[in-house]
Amino acid sequence: MIKILPSLVGILTAVGVFRASGALDIVVRLLKPAATLLGIPAEAMPLALLRPISGGASLALVSDIIRVYGPDSYVGRVVSTMMGSTETIFYTLAVYYGSTGIKNIRYTLLAALIADGVSVIASAWVCALVFGR
């Protein structure tokens, strides 16, 4: 626990600063055209960006989205599917690799980010296929 505590505190602090500063909103606005092209609802983009970093922030975000749009809406279904098919990559890497002392994580991180991106796109596509828009 002592070995991984600095990494966890750093991740949680960075997420808080990122959301509070408004940087998340700016990044979402910049990525909206690409998300629309891929079939991802713009309302789900904050989740796609925060999920690899923080599970707690992602859960709060999903709760807010479902409260606003409803659980049976297209957006609600996409974020629910996205939440279940993606992982908190940076947290998991910090815990597992931090506890074992592994420092070279570049290939693991790259593979995990690619898998996360595919999961985000697949969540929107599967929901569109199964439930329609």
Determine the Cα–Cα distance for residues 120 and 22; give it in Å rounded to an integer.
Answer: 22
> What is the reported pLDDT for 1?
66
Q: What are the distances in angstroms from CA 39 to CA 10, 27, 49, 128?
A: 33, 18, 16, 8
Half-sphere exposure (Cβ direction) of 130: Cα atoms closer than 13 Å: 12
The model's pLDDT over 91-109, given as tens digits with 9 standing for 90+, comes to 888 888 888 888 888 899 9
Residue 110: pLDDT band (50, 70, 90) is very high
- CA 68 to chain centroid, in Å, comes to 19
Least confident of 5-9, 35-39, 72-76: 5-9
Q: Which strand (E) or helix (H) includes residue 76?
A: helix 74-85
The secondary structure of residue 73, as a DSSP letter, is S
The model's pLDDT over 77-86, given as tens digits with 9 standing for 90+, comes to 999 999 999 9
Residue 67: pLDDT band (50, 70, 90) is very high
Averaged confidence pLDDT in the chain? 88
